[in-house]
Chains A and B, each alone.
Chain A
Amino acid sequence: MESAGGSRETGSPEVSEHGLKENAIGFRDALIIGIASTAPAYSLAAVIGLVVVVVGVQAPAVLLASFIPMFFVATAFYYMNRADQDCGTTFSWVTRAMGPYLGWIGGWAICVTGILVVGSLADVAARYTYIFFGLDGLAGSKVAITLFAVVIIAATTALCVIGTELSARIQDVMIIAQVGALLLFAVVALVRVYGGTAPEGSLVPKLSWFSPFAVDTPSALIAGLLIGVFIYWGWESSVNLTEETENSESAPGLAAVASTVILLVTYLSVAAAVVGFGGVGTAERFADDDAILSTLATGVLGSPWDKLVVLAVLTSALASTQTTILPASRTVLSMARANAIPSALGATHPRFLTPHVSTIVVGALATLWYVPLNFLSENFLFDTLSALSLMIAFYYALTGFACAIYYRHELFKSAKNFLFIGLAPMVGALVLAYLFFRSIIDLASPDASYTGGSFLGLGLPLVIGLGFLLLGVILEIIWRLGGHGSFFGRRPETVSPEIAAGRARVKETAGAPPEED
């Protein structure tokens, strides 16, 4: 007779030691995840107008250039994930490498970005739903959009609590349709531009559009890069996946490369198509208005094919509302378990087994942020996106530095270690840190804000971005004053050589103080 909890089975035989089914993720899955987590259609709709406003015809160049720091920082995510697969990601990793104070702020930045962006995502999903069903009156009404967006946030939060995810098959179809619609739009637009059937004002693409060096001023390039960072946000997920099947086959690695190529091709061709077909004027007229893609699609594809692009943006925004709530709530879970925030936030629902408290808190805060701000600021989306980019750059840079620091004893053991674990994350982090500080300076002037919105003489995006980081520092100090030595007493560590060499996996001490050797 066995005592309680005696015999344990980690799962059916094909389940590996850390719970994921080995070979569960094949080439197609990894490809889909890589594309899905960046939500290309939504990202493009939200960002393309802004990029054109900032850098004109060099929009494709900026999208290309912003990929480079993202690529470098993704190597940091890959290696940190190998050492510590914590759902707190940056929070857990920076805490390990650079101590609890910086780690806390990193976790805070992740949560805040998630909370701030959910409203924008739901807003886009609501607007495009109206457009898709031809309800143009509702699509133009802020009240109607806000109401529906709140319903979407509530429904998605509920889905995240119940733990239901769309069936993988439906998700696959949606992703492929999304990229397909975008590419169709780009190809038809470019064919019409070259064929001379595009409307007045269209421009034939030049090679210089793709050259970052052709951008007029350095500050325009920096502003563009910071926005560009946003469209690759989430892309690192595809890199992390390679871990699961690393030893068995190279399919996931290939898939990560393939999804990246597809993403780049989609972004560059759609950017070139938007600028080419509509000319700079059209994009500038829309600027922060994400209706740019749907409006141009009507011109390019005609009815009813333009609905394909509308549907692509709609599904992309809907899906990423869910995939944005999840990481934010998981970071809250990890922080709560590490005693970095009140432990009540880490509660798990007895029936659905999801972190329901943190999920509901994230959903509620997202609504509380979105609704008033949407009515206060005409250009809510623009200012939030700039602020978000600031915070994304902040925590990506932090993660890049954390990787090089965490692995510092391993960097000089081989050229490969030095290049991929040390140099690449450092370069990525330095570029993002530079972007972060340069844009603080640039954004300090109210003129830099497209909206002209200002507060205490500072641009609104900066107030949002820095304001939230400062709020984080204040909350952290309050939490520290309340004691919590088990978290704040943690010392920075380094990776163990065994794990660095990939010979062993870390025991899951994530979030909790590590065991002494």
Chain B
Amino acid sequence: MPGCLILGYDDTPSARAALDVAIEQAKRFDERLVILFAYAPPGRSVGEEYSEHRRVLEEFGSVATSKAADKATAEGVDVEVLLVAERPSIALENAARARGARLIVVGTYGESPLRSAILGATPHKLLQFSETPVLCVPAGPR
């Protein structure tokens, strides 16, 4: 079984930049690209009803990931798509560990460390506890 790398994808500009880097990586190392969209299930802590919100997120995720998957497929990369109902940082780490991924690729907004911490940015969290190497891709002009 060939190796793989995990891409956290939410169709924001930095995620699209990360997609380009991930495709490049997957081609160079001949690896499978796992495109992962994660969303925290809403309302768990307050016992709220949530289903409509979850449907919105799932629709959003499948549209976002299918765009990314199309692009990667067009470049001849072997693609797998995952939609996970979990906080993104945890979902990425779990998926990377379960598949023995070589690398996690995520986009960054290029925010200050304080702002990242306040907003709970995924790369910020991931860097703290991931056992898999993390590649952060800024959204800058490419």
Contact = CB atoms under 8 A, between A and B. Distances in A.
Interface of A: 1-12, 15, 18-21, 24-25, 30, 33-34, 36-37, 81, 84-89, 92, 162-165, 168, 171, 237-238, 240-241, 323, 326-327, 330, 333-334, 337, 346, 348, 350-351, 353-355, 508, 510-511
Contacts of B10: 350-351, 353
Contacts of B62: 5, 8
25 contacts: A1-B73, A2-B69, A2-B80, A4-B69, A4-B81, A5-B65, A7-B80, A9-B83, A10-B85, A11-B91, A12-B84, A19-B41, A19-B85, A30-B47, A84-B51, A89-B49, A237-B48, A238-B47, A330-B42, A330-B52, A333-B52, A333-B56, A348-B60, A350-B60, A353-B60
Interface string B97-121: 0000000000000000000000110
Q: List 7 tightest A-B contacts by C-beta distance, closest first.
A: A4-B66, A4-B69, A237-B47, A5-B66, A11-B85, A334-B52, A5-B62
Interface string B59-71: 0101001110110
Majority SS of interface residues in chain B?
mixed
B56 A348 contact: yes
Interface of A is mostly: loop
Most chain A CB inside 10 Å of its own CB: which residue of B12, B78, B83? B83
Interface residues of B, number: 43
Contacts of A334: 52
B120 A86 contact: no
A240 B83 contact: no
A186 to B, nearest CB: 26
A350 B12 contact: yes
A9 B48 contact: no
Contacts of B45: 33, 165, 168, 171
B94 A12 contact: yes
B31 interface: no
B4 interface: no
Interface of B: 10-12, 39-57, 60, 62, 65-67, 69-70, 73, 78-86, 91, 94, 119-120
B50 A87 contact: yes
Contacts of B67: 4
A323 B42 CA distance: 12
A7 B46 CA distance: 31
Contacts of A355: 53, 56
Nearest to A337: B52
Given A4-B73, A20-B41, A37-B47, A86 B52 contact: yes
Nearest to A163: B40
A354 B120 CA distance: 14
A81 to B, nearest CB: 6
B80 to A, nearest CB: 6
A84 B51 CA distance: 8
Nearest to A327: B48
